[in-house]
Amino acid sequence: MPDEEEYFKDASFEEKMKMIYSKMSEKQKRESREQVIFMCKEHCGKCPTYKGTGETSLGFCMEGKSSIITEKKECLCKDCPIYKLMNLRWSHFCIRGSALELSQAEK
């Protein structure tokens, strides 16, 4: 359905969350989490803010902030496919919190 695809592509993070996450089964949520972690390894895992901190967790845009990372350096999230796919508009999730938390803080 090209119209729906087109609409999804341009939708905001909040609209995308409503469109997909609310309809996902527990299994799909688990798979989606694994996919985010996989993509994240290539970006957070190579990021100056992350490297050398001893942090091993990933997926901060989804899981929320790190309990270890405190010093803000460069953020590579903008290059991550998840960032584009979900139309995220923040940075430094590892320090600032998940995309959902940042979205709610704007209200």
What number of chain residues touch ligand SF4 (CB under 6 A)?
22
Tell me which of 13, 90, 92, 97 binds ligand SF4, using CB under 6 A.
92
42, burial (CB in 10 Å: exposed 0-12, middle 13-18, buried 19+): middle
Asked if 97 touches ligand SF4 (CB under 6 A), the answer is no
Site string for ligand SF4, 19-48 (x = CB under 6 A): -----------------x--xx--xx--x-
Task: Return left, alpha or beta for 54; rule: phi > 0 is left, psi -120 to 50 is alpha, else beta.
Answer: left
Query: Cβ neighbours of residue 12 under 8 Å, at least 6 residues apart?
Result: 87
Q: Which residues bind ligand SF4 (CB under 6 A)?
A: 36, 39-40, 43-44, 47, 49-50, 59-61, 75-77, 80, 82-83, 88, 91-94
